[in-house]
Structure 1
Amino acid sequence: MDNHSLVLCGFHFKPTDQELIHHFLRDFLTNRQLLLLQPYNTIIQECNLFGNRSEPSEIWEAYEGGAQLTDQSLYFFSELKKLNPMGSHIDRKIGSGGTWNIGKAVATWVNGTDGSPSPIGLKRTFCYKNEGSEDNGRWLLDEYSLFASHRKNYRDSRYDFDYVLCRLRKKDGSLNKRKCSTSEDQATSSKKKKCDDE
């Protein structure tokens, strides 16, 4: 399915973390009609990435045709599913026995009306783990959640809403690597790339 057929030629959807949370996710949660307008209705789809029986590569193929996007990402609004209706833990299962393993969570900030920075939500990064699948360690998921109100403790990782905005992407070098890198590996890789560029 070609979801970008209604998007202008040369258009690249590369929003910042702040834009994803402060504009797109907030708009989706407060007034879904705004995101039914073109071109956004062809760029950000609704798909439950938690509790889905499809592998990440199958979701990629279903929404993008796979081979056309080599260096881009897919964006989804996804409903969170709790392991226990009364609990706070989220069901991270996906595919045939796989799961999204969390790597790190970082607060996202915007400047408030008084000019001081204010946390608006969290970005959590996950890596797909499923030892029995070729997709194991080859997919990353950035999950964006919105805070309902200002939090003094922005490290508080609870969810205020039942929906999140997710960016699904292929892991760099995933064709050659089978494991998810650690944040230390990413920092080393980043430093190496910077040195290579100089």
Structure 2
Amino acid sequence: MDTNESCVPPGFRFHPTDEELVGYYLRKKIASQKIDLDVIRDIDLYRIEPWDLQDKCRIGYEEQNEWYFFSHKDKKYPTGTRTNRATMAGFWKATGRDKAVYNKSKLIGMRKTLVFYKGRAPNGQKSDWIMHEYRLESEENGPPQASSSSNILAY
């Protein structure tokens, strides 16, 4: 058996809500707590092209069109706050407004939508690859935690 393949029971489908991704999976990952079932892999998003993610992040059934993974944010400059979202073949560009993620009425995180562009900015060619990046909110109305990023790729 391939070590990259998760062991999940037959018929298992992983389709968590935004609230579950932030409130359970991401919160436990940031706190270094055990997650009950190993269904979200750790990867280095900036060393993998979007079309190679399926093999690394698939959870056990072929028809899955969403892949889930944890990846640390890469900084453009060591002392700065700008995020580096470039790969060898292109870059992930944020689009639209961030969407708030709530647990009941409490803000627990934010979801950012990114689109992959082939080539280099500002002349990159837009692709069909879309990713949602989730982050925890450290306090209600407070700034997000810099290292608390989980990425979800959907095609």
TM, length-normalised to structure 2: 0.83
Deviation at 1:60, TM superposition (A): 1.9
Relative contact order, CA 8 A, sep 6+: which one is greater?
A: 2
Which residue number in structure 1 is paired with residue 23 of structure 2?
A: 22
Q: Give the aligned CA root-mean-square deviation in angstroms.
A: 2.5
State, as a whole percentage, how many aligned pairs show the same letter: 23
Q: Which has the larger radius of gyration?
A: 1
User: Any residues of structure 2 matched to 1:79-98 within 5 Å, and which?
Assistant: 79-96=72-89, 98=90
User: Any residues of structure 2 matched to 1:1-198 within 5 Å, and which?
Assistant: 1=2, 3-4=5-6, 6-32=7-33, 34-35=34-35, 37=36, 40-41=37-38, 43-49=39-45, 51-52=46-47, 54-64=48-58, 69-96=62-89, 98-104=90-96, 105-111=98-104, 117-131=105-119, 137-151=127-141, 159-170=144-155
Shift in alpha-carbon separation, 1:57–1:168, aligned structure 2, 3 A: same
Larger helix share, 1 or 2: 1
Deviation at 1:31, TM superposition (A): 2.6
> CA–CA distance in 1 between the matches of 2:62 and 2:91?
24
Contact 1:78/1:163 (8 A) holds in 2: no
Kindly provide the CA deviation profile for residues 117-171 of structure 1, in whole angstroms up to 9, marking residues without a partner as x.
1211110111110059xx951211111100111117xxxxx5413131111121x
Gaps of 5+ in 2: none
Contact 2:101/2:110 (8 A) holds in 1: yes
Shift in alpha-carbon separation, 1:130–1:141, aligned structure 2, 3 A: same
Gaps of 5+ in 1: 112-116, 153-157, 171-198
> CA–CA distance in 1 between the matches of 2:17 and 2:56?
25
TM, length-normalised to structure 1: 0.66
SS in 2 for 1:25: helix
Deviation at 1:78, TM superposition (A): 0.6
